[in-house]
A and B are shown apart, each in its own frame.
Chain A
Amino acid sequence: MSVSNPALALPTSVALALPLPTSVELARAIAGYALLGGVAALGAGEAAVSHAPVGLVSAVGALALTVPALLVAHPFLTLRAAPQALVAAIARPFTRTGDVALGLVPTLLLFRATSGLAQLLLALMLVGAAGLGFSLAIRNLVQTEADASEDSWSVWKMTLLAWAWSGLAALIGARLGIGVLLDL
């Protein structure tokens, strides 16, 4: 199919630099976020049980609400990377930070059993995991666009878009997390 305006052409299919996560990896990541919140709420009474999904809600909710907006803004800015590549660029840090959350469960369990610092540590761990995840996602998104485009102006646009997206996702994730903790 020929087009007169190259900007209207669909992105040529680019071999994915990053694979989409498998269902096992996704399940493990979700389990990691769910367990981390659950451990912090262990034995803390009925009110705390409602706070257990804080990790899962803020992580999954932030992505579910903001990734579609990213996928809309991307072609609007005449950027070239394939949508699947963008999704993979974000999904991989999500699964990897989910593994980190799972790895932190023993530590949080220790603090939950032996101190009153569990809630504070949970907040720090979730913020740390989010920071790591966004940092890697920004890097992946920019690299994905650089692989698909040949001009530096597109890479600059993607950098700005990636930062804007991560800022929005961080704010929404924080709002969702606070909403769960304060029952808002």
Chain B
Amino acid sequence: MSRPSILTLTSQVLRDPQAVVVAHDTPADLGWLAPRLLAISGVGAALFGAVVGSYRGGEQVLYAAMKLPILLWAPPLLALPAIHAAWRACDVEVSYRRLAVASLAGMARAGVLVSALAPILWLPYSVEVEYHFSVLLFAGMLVLAGLPGLTAIAGAIPAGGHRRWIAATGSLALIGLLLAQTGWLLRPFVARPTTAVALLRPVEGDILSGLGTTLTSSLGLYGDWDAGRDGLLAREPR
């Protein structure tokens, strides 16, 4: 079977990811398919990341572009064994390889879609909208692009089995949890213009405490939370 070009593959994952999964769920195809789909998702996510980093500007553009692909890849990669086991527990016979191909297709789909949303994000960022609103926009775009990616994975799971809703709910909850914690670990993406630019903040707290702080901050209740004057490769604001 001839291998499609990168552009053809991109079009296929957008139009019909199930056809990609069905056609390439073979040992022979996974080898050449994986780097191409990872490249598609990586480039798309990096483009989006560059726009996200443009809110702060400077090195943040590069840092966010480097981190967005990891944010897209980490949750499905970490959750794959548990998702496979959960569906098998519900007597749905789906091979690990099929789920792997579907995950790659889903990541590629999400990466391309999120890059298409980049210009829409850039517009409010270019007029320097309020910081919390900019974070919400960023998160909203990720969810908007991520959902079609998740449906690509869900579509690869065959019919049948019992208590499917348990496996479906658990899979979704696990990916959501991993996305949230990975995002917390890789912060900042949207950096305040007045803060130091840093590749990564020190690992402290967790996504729940971070959400709590954000909520109170958005209500105007500021505690001793530091806006981040340090971190990996930190640079003071100009």
Contacts and interface: CB of A to CB of B under 8 A. Distances in A.
A–B contact, 8 Å CB criterion (strictly below): yes
Contact of B85 (A96, A110, A128): A96
The secondary-structure label for the interface of chain A is helix
Contact of A107 (B78, B163, B203): B78
B27 interface: no
A104 B178 CA distance: 11
Interface in B193-213: 203, 205-208
The secondary-structure label for the interface of chain B is helix
B94 to A, nearest CB: 13
Contact of A93 (B81, B83, B84, B89): B89
B162 A139 contact: yes
A99 B85 contact: yes
A136 B85 CA distance: 14
B206 A103 contact: no
Interface in B33-79: 78-79
A102 B85 contact: yes
Interface residues of A, number: 23
A103 B166 contact: no
B162 A136 contact: yes
B206 A114 contact: yes
B89 to A, nearest CB: 4
Interface residues of B, number: 28
Interface string A45-82: 00000000000000000000000000000000000000
A56 B83 CA distance: 21
A21 to B, nearest CB: 12
A132 interface: yes
B177 A107 contact: yes
A37 to B, nearest CB: 16
B208 A103 contact: no
A110 B79 CA distance: 11
Interface in A63-121: 93, 96-97, 99-100, 102-104, 106-107, 110-111, 114-117
Given A110-B78, A135-B163, A128 B181 contact: no
B148 interface: no
B88 A106 contact: no
B137 interface: no
Interface string A117-158: 100000000001001110110010000000000000000000
A100 B181 contact: no
A17 B86 CA distance: 21
B185 interface: yes
Contacts of B206: 111, 114-117
B85 A114 contact: no
Contacts of A106: 78, 81-82
Contacts of A99: 85, 88-89
Given A114-B181, A117-B208, A132-B170, A104 B82 contact: yes
4 interchain residue pairs of minimum CB distance: A103-B82, A115-B206, A96-B89, A103-B81
24 contacts: A93-B89, A96-B88, A99-B88, A99-B89, A100-B85, A100-B89, A102-B81, A103-B82, A104-B82, A104-B174, A106-B81, A107-B79, A107-B174, A107-B178, A110-B78, A110-B178, A110-B181, A114-B206, A115-B181, A117-B206, A132-B86, A132-B166, A132-B167, A136-B91
Given A110-B181, A132-B170, 6 more contacts: A103-B80, A103-B83, A131-B166, A132-B167, A136-B91, A139-B163
